[in-house]
Structure formats: C-alpha cells, structure tokens
C-alpha cells in the first residue's frame, strides 16, 4: 500500500515536472522596434486550438485577456491596444498597440493555453524617434549642428575630409524634453580658408544621419539626400544628408564646392574684379 502511494506520488511529480518542462521549452523571445506616435504590432503566434490568451506589460499588469467568456481589456490600454479577435483560435495572438510612446518601451509577455499546456512569448519593445533631419548654421568661423525630438539618447561627432591631425574643438549639449525625447546641439570652430569638408554625424543605437559642409560659410545652402537603406531584420533607417557650399571668407580666399577648387586663373580674375570695385 505504501509502495503504491509512493509510486503514485512519484508519477505525479514526474508528470508535473514534465508539464513544467514543456512550459519552459515553449518560451521564445522577439525584439520589435517601433517608431514613436505610430502604430505597432507585437507578434505572438501559436498553433491552432488556443483556448486562453493574455498579454501583460513590463510591469506585469494585464493588458488584455481572452477565454471562453470573451475579451477583457484593461482601462489603461482599452483605447490603445487590441487583438485580432477573429484570428485568436487560429493561433494569431498579435497585439496592435496604437500611438506608441516612450513609456511603452520594455518587455511584454504573451501567454496562450493550448491543450492544457501554457506557452509564453516574450517581446522586447525598443522605441525609436529617429534622426530625420537636422540644421547646420554658420556664423563666421563657427559651425553649429543641431537636431530635436530624438530617441533614444543620440551622440554627435565631428570629422573632416581629408582627416585632420588636430583635435576638433567642439561643445555639445543634450537636453531631454518633457516627452522624454532628446534635443542635441554642437558648435565647432574652424580655421580660416579651410577647404576641408566638415562632417556632423548624429546617431542613436538605431539610426544614423550625417551632414557635411565645406569650411566656414556665409552663402546659400543646398541639401541633398544621398542614401536610404532598410535592413532585413531591423525596423530602422540609415540615412545620409549632404550640404555643400561655395563661399568667400575674404578677397584672397575662395572655397570650392565639395572637393572642387576654383582654378588659379579664375581666382585671379575674381580678385582683380573685387579690387576694381
């Protein structure tokens, strides 16, 4: 009798551990990048036969649940989150999150019950307010590069073409707004008559954008978008912007556009014309 009871307990323990093992090996983790203020889908797919499903946020608070009684949405997400209700039984548990905010960033958990076994999907949600465009302004020998409304926190770097042997002296400030977005600005002092191309690059973990200018400038600015790429497994963009200038710092110092300088003969003619005036 005791032997049968011990054997029954052992079998129950094995069965419990077996189901627990099934639960653990079913876990998966996915990362989805979403752009702020846009709609985003958090994926959760299983095989057919889902009878119970729920989504929880990073704070373990319930977003939505589904069982034989129907759907139940939390008050905080009722107007912003929804399931594809007619597809739940076919294994589509994707969650549509509308108008994502910085506070939505974090981990989410989707749990589904199929044939008495619970399966869990973890979704990591990074939020992005990409570097789209930025301004570059020149005042004498000082070039200022700035951009607003970025997330996550950006970095700004300066470089030259051809490379400079001296360290570029710049001052960069970063400010976080009430919406938890970042504004960034940097000023660089450049020498007179420099024909180097000065590049301002702003990047985050997800995006990168570059702006180039030739020397200290006082003339018109032209902007050209040079490239846009999409990666296969990430929802982010890598973009490049160029601003080219032809400027004059004083009668004997002309700067070219990009790498192209004015010929000596043309420079002499321009200087002669200026002296006549």
> Is 96 in the same domain as 177?
no
pLDDT tens-digit map of 181-240:
999 999 988 887 777 888 888 888 766 566 555 554 433 333 333 333 322 222 223 333
Mean confidence (pLDDT) of the chain: 72
Report helix, strand and coil shares of the chain as percent, to nearest 5.
15, 45, 35
Calpha distance 254→195 (Å, rounded): 9
Expressed as residue numbers, the domain containing 160 is 134-214
**Low-confidence winner among 175-179, 209-213, 240-244 (lowest mean pLDDT):** 240-244
Residue 216 has φ and ψ, to the nearest 5°, of -70, 130
Tokens of 134: 């930025």
Question: How many residues make up the chain in this entry?
Answer: 277
Mean pLDDT score, 95-110: 95
pLDDT band at residue 3 using 50, 70 and 90 as cut-offs: very low
% residues pLDDT > 90 (the chain): 32
> Is 45 in the same domain as 120?
yes
pLDDT tens-digit map of 104-142:
999 999 998 888 888 899 999 999 998 877 888 888 888
**Is 242 domain-assigned?**
no
Q: What angle do CA 103, 210, 212 make, to 5 degrees?
A: 150
Residue 110: its pLDDT value, please? 93
CA atoms within 13 A on the CB side of 125: 28
> Is 43 in the same domain as 85?
yes
Q: Final residue of a domain: which of 102, 128, 154?
A: 128
Q: Final residue of a domain: which of 187, 214, 241?
A: 214
Mean pLDDT score, 140-169: 88
**Is 124 domain-assigned?**
yes
Query: Do residues 145 and 156 lie in contact, with contact meaning Cβ atoms separated by under 8 Å?
Result: yes
> Is 208 in the same domain as 140?
yes
> Is 98 in the same domain as 144?
no
Residue 268: its pLDDT value, please? 57
> Is 40 in the same domain as 94?
yes
**Is 64 domain-assigned?**
yes
**Is 225 domain-assigned?**
no
Calpha distance 118→115 (Å, rounded): 8
Query: Do residues 196 and 212 lie in contact, with contact meaning Cβ atoms separated by under 8 Å?
Result: no
Query: Do residues 135 and 184 lie in contact, with contact meaning Cβ atoms separated by under 8 Å?
Result: no
Residue 229 has φ and ψ, to the nearest 5°, of -130, 145
Q: Final residue of a domain: which of 181, 214, 247?
A: 214
Locus of tokens 């360290």: 167
Residue 206: its pLDDT value, please? 67
Answer yes or no: is pLDDT of 71 > 60.
yes
Residue 65: its pLDDT value, please? 92
pLDDT tens-digit map of 159-175:
888 888 777 888 999 99
**Is 102 domain-assigned?**
yes
Radius of gyration (C-alpha) of the chain in whole angstroms: 30
Query: Do residues 211 and 225 lie in contact, with contact meaning Cβ atoms separated by under 8 Å?
Result: no
**Is 260 domain-assigned?**
no
Sheet of 208-214: strand order equals 155-161, 197-203, 208-214, 237-244, 222-230
Residue 35: other Cβ atoms inside 10 A: 17
CATH number at residue 70: 2.60.40.10
Tokens of 217: 């400038």
% residues pLDDT > 70 (the chain): 64
DSSP for 75-142 reads: TTTTTTEEE-GGGGGGTB--EEE-S--GGG-EEEEEEEEETTEEEEEEEEE-EEB-----EEEEETTE
> Is 43 in the same domain as 115?
yes
**Is 208 domain-assigned?**
yes
**Is 160 domain-assigned?**
yes
Count up the domains in the chain and report the number. Answer: 2
Residue 174: its pLDDT value, please? 97
> Is 141 in the same domain as 175?
yes
Residue 256: its pLDDT value, please? 37
> Is 120 in the same domain as 145?
no
pLDDT band at residue 269 using 50, 70 and 90 as cut-offs: low
């Amino acid at each position: 009798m005791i032997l049968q009871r011990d054997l029954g307990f052992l079998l129950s323990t094995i069965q419990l551990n077996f189901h627990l093992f099934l639960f653990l090996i079913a876990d998966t983790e996915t990362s989805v990048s979403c752009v702020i203020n846009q709609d985003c889908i958090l994926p959760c797919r299983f095989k057919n036969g889902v009878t119970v499903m729920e989504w929880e946020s990073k704070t373990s608070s319930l977003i939505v649940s589904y069982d034989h009684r129907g759907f139940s949405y939390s008050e905080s997400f009722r107007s912003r989150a929804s399931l594809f209700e007619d597809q739940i039984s076919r294994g589509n548990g994707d969650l549509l999150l509308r108008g994502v905010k910085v506070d939505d960033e974090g981990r989410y958990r989707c749990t589904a019950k199929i044939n008495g076994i619970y399966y869990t999907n973890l979704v990591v949600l990074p939020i992005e307010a990409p570097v789209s465009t930025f301004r570059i302004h020149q005042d004498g020998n000082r070039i200022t590069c700035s951009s607003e409304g970025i997330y996550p926190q950006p970095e700004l770097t300066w470089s030259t073409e051809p490379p400079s042997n001296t360290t570029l002296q710049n001052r960069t400030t970063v400010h976080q707004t009430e919406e938890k977005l970042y504004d960034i600005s940097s000023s660089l002092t450049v020498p007179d008559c420099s024909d180097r191309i000065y590049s301002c690059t702003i990047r985050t973990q997800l995006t990168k954008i570059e702006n180039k200018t030739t020397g200290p400038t006082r003339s018109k600015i032209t902007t050209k978008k040079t490239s846009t790429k999409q990666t296969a497994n990430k929802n982010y963009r890598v973009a490049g912007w160029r601003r080219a200038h032809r400027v004059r710092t004083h009668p004997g110092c002309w700067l070219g556009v990009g790498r192209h300088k004015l010929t000596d003969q043309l420079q002499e003619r321009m200087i002669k014309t200026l002296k006549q005036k």
